[in-house]
Structure 1
Amino acid sequence: MAATWSKKQKAFLLLLAVFLMLTIVGRLSYSKQFHGLLCAARTFHHFVTSDTNGPVIPNEDGVTFWTENGKPKKSMPRKISGAKAENIQRQIKLKKALKPPKPSKEIRIELATGGKAQRLPQAIIIGVRKCGTRALLEMLETHPQIAACGPEIHFFDKNYKKGLQWYQNQMKPSTPDQITIEKTPGYIIAPEVPELVYKMNKNTKLLVIVREPTTRVISDYTQLKEKSTSWLSKATFEGAVLDGNQIRSSYKAVQISIYVKHVLNWLKYFPLSQMHFVDGDKLISNPLPELKAVEKFLGMRDVISSDMIYFNATRGFYCMASEFNTKCLNSNKGREHPYVSPELMNKLQDYFRPYNEKFFKTINQRFDWP
């Protein structure tokens, strides 16, 4: 007859099995538990034998003791001496020495943008108004080493209080091998600007594009008459440039065309070697030689060639095309000039001639002006 188990016997066997399982699990984790107990005992011993009322928090340089109110006291050094202490200090110093330095904000930006960052300009087209500054900038943009800022910023003559960081933020992102450039034709005539540019970077390269002074005055008058709401909008060209029978020297368009006066102000701060003068008349009729001269002045690679230049009969201007960019002047360029009598043309040319001669001698360069 088969033996039968009572409920009490079954319960006893179940408890025995559970006890055996707990015993096995306990033995497997014994080493970890024992290690934890040793650490707890060591900490308790340190707490009891110390003169503080709180636990200790070890760090790499020492032990921080905590007061009853939870605020830390001054860290105290570990009680380690001899060769072991020296070895620990050497390891700490080595760890700090091998830790790479945190990159600057500029470097982090360059890494995030593939090497591009906004930089202060290394070159500036400072003038002259109505001589082809826009054409020069847009033609230069076809060169892969040029990072040109499109709009006129007027930082040094109108927005200087906004600071250099604001100025830098207006620049087109560029790589380290590119030249950041901006143009503001008003810089050349502003008396305070040369010193401010020098303070920013005394090595800044300056580009000045000029045209025959009388032609420039006519072009300036044409634009001002179109946009002005003053008496000039109703004045004829003759009425604007003449005061009786004499040239109105106070007329701003006339003042701007006296190039030598403005250049001498810039030469107080920058050597002539950092200034390059572009013939604006030739840039219109034969741009390649002028662009190659600028390319050399800025230290750029020999890229611009005759294959990149073509004449746009519809616009009436030369255009630039390359694998990097294509640039043509806007259709609003080339406004129709007013009629100017030969007598007034001669009078204006006679007025500017002595100033032109001083200008040629100052810059050691001549232009084909009457």
Structure 2
Amino acid sequence: MVEGLKNVTEEVRSSNKGSKELHLAENVGLATKEKCHKRLPQVIIAGHYKSGTGALTKFLNEHPQIFACLESGDIQFFNKFYISRGFRWYRNIMPCTFKTQITIEKTAHYFLHPKAGLRIHDMNPKPKIIIILKDPVTVAASLYAMWREHKHYKANEYLFERMVTMFEGTTLQINPFSRIIQMCSYVVPMQRWINLFNRTQLLILDGNSFDKHPLGSLMKVEQFLDVKHFFNMEQFVYNFTKGKYCFRRANKTVLCLPKGKGRPHPEISAEVVQMLTDYFKPITKRLFEIINQTFPW
């Protein structure tokens, strides 16, 4: 064993993060005496809910230069544990990496949280932020499906239409105070992120496009993070049961999303779909104006 490699590999083993770190530590260790360290993330995947953050994180973690914190799903540090646990705890749950590698943390709730972006900025004013968004009608249905399964917000008691509409006199209309509707109205939270960070620090992806063609979105991330091109079309296998792509590793094992992903959406009447589309149209138009991008929603 090359001098210095023993310490490197032992430190990686002690992190208990699996074979990827050990494999890369051995390869890096052959050329350097550098030890891997737990580092605060340079990249944050900040959301949004039900837009592909989980798949994006898991796929990016397959890149040899990228290590995602996969400790326990969403970490929720900047929205939930910022005060109670502190940066020592946060750093300690990160994967062990070398200077040439990138640490990523993902929490879908950061996008909506009023203080998450500011807290990230206080940690590091120059991080890379990735935000992935799907069209709001799809996200609304997906949120309801998730809540119904977990019996949250009475979604198991009420139909989707009941949760997103209200009567104004005798006229049925979208309820702007509905939690689902508010979570799918992207303009205010997006404006917060744009006010906090330079636009070059933000990569905003179309979650609908990522679902259908993950390679294109992953190549945009590679360019954004200035890492080597790794992903190719042969790595992606379509799971017809879930309607989602899986990742085929070099050893032929296949990484698919967990059981809870790809839930069936509720049946929604054509009338309510049109009402939702009409309601979100001006909101989406304003979103595209402030991000200076458009998606085919």
Q: TM-score range by the shorter chain?
A: 0.7 to 0.9
Contact kept in structure 2, 1:110 and 1:117, CA below 8 Å: no
Counterparts of 1:331 and 1:227 in 2: how far apart (Å)? 13
Contact kept in structure 2, 1:124 and 1:205, CA below 8 Å: yes
The answer to which structure, 1 or 2, has the higher relative contact order (CA under 8 A, 6+ apart) is 2
Equivalenced residue count is 262
Q: Say which SS state the counterpart of residue 318 (structure 1) adopts.
A: strand
Q: Say which SS state the counterpart of residue 246 (structure 2) adopts.
A: strand
- In structure 2, runs of 5+ residues without a counterpart are 1-6, 13-24, 26-34
Q: Say which SS state the counterpart of residue 142 (structure 1) adopts.
A: coil
Equivalent residue number for residue 159 of structure 1: 81
Flag the structure with larger Rg. 1
Contact kept in structure 1, 2:242 and 2:263, CA below 8 Å: no
Matching residue's letter, 1:211: K
Contact kept in structure 2, 1:315 and 1:331, CA below 8 Å: no
Is it true that 1:274 corresponds to 2:193 in the alignment?
no
Please show how residues 131-280 of structure 1 align to structure 2 within 5 Å: 131-150=51-70, 151-161=73-83, 162-228=85-151, 230-244=153-167, 245-280=172-207
What fraction of aligned residue pairs are identical, expressed as a percent? 35
Report the Cα offset of residue 246 of structure 1. 2.1
Please show how residues 115-134 of structure 1 align to structure 2 within 5 Å: 115-134=35-54
Equivalent residue number for residue 322 of structure 1: 249
Q: TM-score, normalised by structure 2?
A: 0.83
Q: 1:283 aligns with which of 207, 210, 222?
A: 210
Equivalent residue number for residue 295 of structure 2: 367
Counterparts of 2:217 and 2:157 in 1: how far apart (Å)? 37
> In the TM superposition, what whole-angstrom CA distance separates every residue of 1:65-84 from its partner, at most 9, and x where no partner exists?
xxxxxxxxxxxxxxxxxxxx
Equivalent residue number for residue 273 of structure 2: 345
Counterparts of 2:91 and 2:150 in 1: how far apart (Å)? 30
Contact kept in structure 2, 1:149 and 1:182, CA below 8 Å: yes
- In structure 1, runs of 5+ residues without a counterpart are 1-107
- How big is the alpha-carbon RMSD for the aligned residues of Structure 1 and Structure 2? 1.9
Q: Say which SS state the counterpart of residue 246 (structure 1) adopts.
A: strand
Contact kept in structure 2, 1:142 and 1:326, CA below 8 Å: no
Q: Say which SS state the counterpart of residue 64 (structure 2) adopts.
A: coil
Q: Say which SS state the counterpart of residue 234 (structure 1) adopts.
A: coil
> In the TM superposition, what whole-angstrom CA distance separates every residue of 1:6-27 from its partner, at most 9, and x where no partner exists?
xxxxxxxxxxxxxxxxxxxxxx
Matching residue's letter, 2:237: Y
Report the Cα offset of residue 229 of structure 1. 5.0
Equivalent residue number for residue 29 of structure 2: none
